[in-house]
């Protein structure tokens, strides 16, 4: 059915953010349109401890205290105790802003702000807990190249079975599956190969090319 409104896309944006968190650092050859495949790639060293998370027809719910829909400015803003709850993830933040595309278009900019918390469960039942102050999703097409960077700032931290990772900035590109960090300053996990260079090229401006593989 093709009549799901932009609210659905807000939820999807949350899902994008979630997926970014679960795959952001050093994931190569990641399928960009199947979260199951992505998560499978990043958890290949760990046996599945739990049943797979449901990915079927369970609804996605978005709750907030208030919501504003600016039809002229084409922007939707959810404010206050924003909660996105889908089968694969839960996202909370204080404000979720979505720039609305033209009819039939694609959302190109989503911002989750203030006390952003994302909890995702992959198909093997592994959890990823992400916190940051701000998560920004962008969709860009330049010279036939599609980029979908999700940028986490404000003390971003990713915690999963493989370890804990923090940096000044954590970026993951959904389109390429590449992730990188700017100035990582804490990594802890017995399973993490600290200092192992990521096979993906770091982005320009990245001041620390060493990318521990957490995912």
Partner 1 sequence: MKIKFHNAVPAALIVAAAWFAATLVRAQQNTAGHASNFSSVEYFDAPHAQQMKSRMSGTEASPQPGGLLAIKQLKLEEFDVEGKLEAVAEAPDCVYDMQNGMANSPGHLKMRTGDGNLRIEGEGFLWRQTNQWLTISNHVQTVIQGALESKTGL
Contacts with partner 1, residue ranges (CB under 8 A): 1-12, 15-16, 33, 35, 55-57, 59-72, 74, 76, 78, 86, 100-107
CA–CA gap between residue 31 and residue 38 (Å, rounded): 6
DSSP state of 207: S
To partner 1, the closest distance from the beta carbon of 157 in angstroms equals: 25
Which residue's CB is nearer to partner 1, number 9 or number 167? 9
Which residue's CB is nearer to partner 1, number 88 or number 166? 88
Which residue's CB is nearer to partner 1, number 177 or number 212? 177
To partner 1, the closest distance from the beta carbon of 31 in angstroms equals: 11
Which residue's CB is nearer to partner 1, number 10 or number 167? 10
DSSP state of 90: E
181: part of which helix (H) or strand (E)?
A: strand 179-188
CA–CA gap between residue 106 and residue 111 (Å, rounded): 15
Which residue's CB is nearer to partner 1, number 99 or number 168? 99
DSSP state of 65: S
**Which residue in 185, 39, 17, 35 sits closest to 90, CA to CA?**
17
CA–CA gap between residue 152 and residue 78 (Å, rounded): 19
To partner 1, the closest distance from the beta carbon of 32 in angstroms equals: 9
To partner 1, the closest distance from the beta carbon of 151 in angstroms equals: 18
Say whether 49 sits in a helix, a strand or coil: coil
13 phi, psi to nearest 5 deg: -60, -40
Residue with structure tokens 């709850």?
85
Which residue's CB is nearer to partner 1, number 62 or number 158? 62
Please, what is the end-to-end C-alpha distance for the chain in angstroms? 34
To partner 1, the closest distance from the beta carbon of 197 in angstroms equals: 30
To partner 1, the closest distance from the beta carbon of 6 in angstroms equals: 4
């Amino acid at each position: 059915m093709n009549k799901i409104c932009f609210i659905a896309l807000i939820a999807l944006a949350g899902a994008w953010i979630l997926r970014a968190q679960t795959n952001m650092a050093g994931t190569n050859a990641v399928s960009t349109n199947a979260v199951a495949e992505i998560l499978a790639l990043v958890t290949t060293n760990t046996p599945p401890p739990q049943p797979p998370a449901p990915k079927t027809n369970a609804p996605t719910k978005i709750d907030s205290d208030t919501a504003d829909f600016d039809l002229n400015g084409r922007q939707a803003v959810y404010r206050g105790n924003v909660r996105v709850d889908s089968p694969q993830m839960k996202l909370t933040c204080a404000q979720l802003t979505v720039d609305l595309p033209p009819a039939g278009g694609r959302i190109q900019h989503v911002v989750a702000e203030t006390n952003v918390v994302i909890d995702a469960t992959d198909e093997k039942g592994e959890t990823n807990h992400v916190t940051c102050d701000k998560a920004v999703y962008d969709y860009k097409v330049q010279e036939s190249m599609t980029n979908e960077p999700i940028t986490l700032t404000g003390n971003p931290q990713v915690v999963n079975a493989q370890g804990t990772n923090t940096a000044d900035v954590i970026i993951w590109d959904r389109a390429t599956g590449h992730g990188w960090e700017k100035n990582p300053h804490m990594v802890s996990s017995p399973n993490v190969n600290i200092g192992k260079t990521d096979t993906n090229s770091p982005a320009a401006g990245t001041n620390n090319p060493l990318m521990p593989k957490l995912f």
